Every structure is written in structure tokens, then in C-alpha cells.
Amino acid sequence: MEGIASFSCLIKQNAKFLGFNDCGISPVQHLEKEASRLKQWITSGLYGQMVYMAGHFDQRVNPGKLVPGAKSVISVLLNYYPADTQKDKEAPNISKYAYGHDYHKVIKNKLNKLLQFIRKTYPKVNGRFFIDSAPVMDKVWAARSGLGWIGKNTNLISRENGSFVFIGELIIDLELEYDIPEKDYCGTCTLCIDACPTGAIVKPYLLDARKCISYFTIEYKEELPSEMKGKFENWVFGCDICQDVCPWNLKCLPHDEPDFNPHPRLMEMSKDEWFNLSEEDYKEIFKNSAVRRTKYSGLKRNLDFIR
């Protein structure tokens, strides 16, 4: 066990060397409690048009379905909190996570290096890395790995890093030393629930995606519903309201990941420039951003909706 403990420490040290802000490890288990909650969430239709959330149920609650013989989930956090936000306070807003390069590529590159580091000692280890693109309950595994707790707004909250963090996982068939899950420190606070302009957090720890601004501005593919008019508070891609009001984010430190730095023009864009955004400018400013997910037509739809 001493060898397992020391190698687990080496994995965490290497994760920090690669730029991750935190790393924790949990044993692979069938997520019985979470499976029940997920099934109820799906049955209630709270996922809206995100049909992929209703699929691959067995894989979501059992990592062994994704990596045969899986024994350990290595979870990592990467801070994306920016040093600066958009200058024009009246301009349309995009979520901070989309300021820089698409995080999927950035984190997958780092996780791949972490896997290669493990294989230098255990060449035959079987593993896969994931970042928000496969049926993995990343917030659950991060919480089980001691990296934070899932707050009332359903985001993972870290005592050291707040909630403006990306989560990634490396699932491997190697036994390691495991961390203790974090406690829930939300207490009696309901700031996130009270601040949501659309009432998407229907009760503590339960999100109705069909009411969420992020859902409407990114996932929703049809004409935006008229009953939501005037409720988006200038958000046109994602929404940070429930995170901005969270007390655990009051002392967030800016990230030091160069790939997350915004395009120089993005922070300077005025309200008028946003509403007159051409497709050419869109392609230049958001060339490597997650904003490309909604396409130019989707962003224009969102802009027209809040005009």
C-alpha cells in the first residue's frame, strides 16, 4: 500500500506540474444514489432538448462500462476565472468559460500527458480521459475525490478555487490511494436560487434546464420562447449569475492558463459593436472559442432576442 500511496502523490504532483489547480482520486463504484436522482431528473423531462443527457444511462452511473476493469477515477480542476471582464457594462454578456480557447482541447491535452506519465511506471495500464464530452458524471466524481461539493446551483464548488473551474477525469484500471469526499458548505445560503432571473433552480440542488439561460442560449435550437423575453439580463451565450453571487467565488484568483486569455477585441467590444457583429468578425473573434458551438446564426438569434 505504501507504493500505491507514494505513486498517488506523484500523480497529483504531476497534475499540478501540468497546470491543474487540484487533483483528487476516488474508487470506481456504481453510483446508486446518483442513479436514482438522475433517473428521476430524466423522467421529469428537466433536460429539455438535451436528449444526450437521457442516453447512455448505464455508462453514466458505472465507469466500468467506459473502461473495462476500471478501478480509479482521477479528477482534476482547472481554474478559468479571468483577470478582466468585458469593459462595456451595457454590452451583451458571454459566460467567462468561453472567453478563451475551447477548454475541451486544452484539458484533453493535459490529461493525455498525465496518462502518459502514469504509463511510464505502469506501461500496461488501461485508461481514458474525459472532459464534458462523454457520459461521465464529472461533478459527482470530483466531489467523491475531495475536490469540492455540488452546490445548490448544481455546480461543483471548491473551498480553494470556487466554482469557476473546469473538471476533467482520467479513469484507469489501476488501484490507487483514495481521497475523502468533501463536506457541503452551502449552509443556509440561497443567494444562487434567489438571483436566478428565470427560476431555473427550482429548489436546492435541482436545476430545471428548460428554464436556464445557458440552456436557451446554447442548447435550445428553435425560436426562443416569448415568455422568456426580458429575463436574460443581457446574456447571449451561457450565464454566470448563480456563480457570480456565490460567496465562495468572492476571492477567486485569475487563471494563469494562456489558452484561456480572451481575444483582444472581445473585452473591448461596445454594445453597438455586439449588435452589429458581422459573420466575418464572429469567425475572427471566436475562432477557437466555445462560442462557435452556437454558430453565428445562433448568436445573432440570441442578440436579437435581448435587443
Q: Which residues are catalytic?
A: 132
- Annotate 228-242 with DSSP letters as a single string: GTT-STTEEE---HH
Burial class (CB in 10 A: 0-12, 13-18, 19+), 40: exposed
Cell triple for 142: 470530483
Which amino acid would we find at residue 248?
A: W
Measure the CA–CA gap between 135 and 55, rounded to whole angstroms. Answer: 8
Q: Tell me the C-alpha to C-alpha distance, in Å, between residue 54 and each of 2, 36, 58.
A: 41, 13, 11
Pairing of strands 165-172, 127-130: antiparallel
SS3 191: helix
3-state secondary structure of 114: helix
Separation between Cα atoms, residue 136 and residue 73, nearest integer Å: 11
DSSP conformation letters of 20-86: -SEEEEEE----HHHHHHHHHHHHTTTTTT-GGGGS-HHHHH-GGGTSTT--EEEEEEEE---S---
- Nearest-angstrom CA–CA distance, 251 and 81: 11
Buried-exposed string 175-196: b where 16+ CB fall within 10 A, e elsewhere: ebbbbebbeeebeebeebbebb
Contact 181, 143 (CB under 8 A): yes
In the structure grid, which three cell numbers stand for residue 246, read together? 456565490
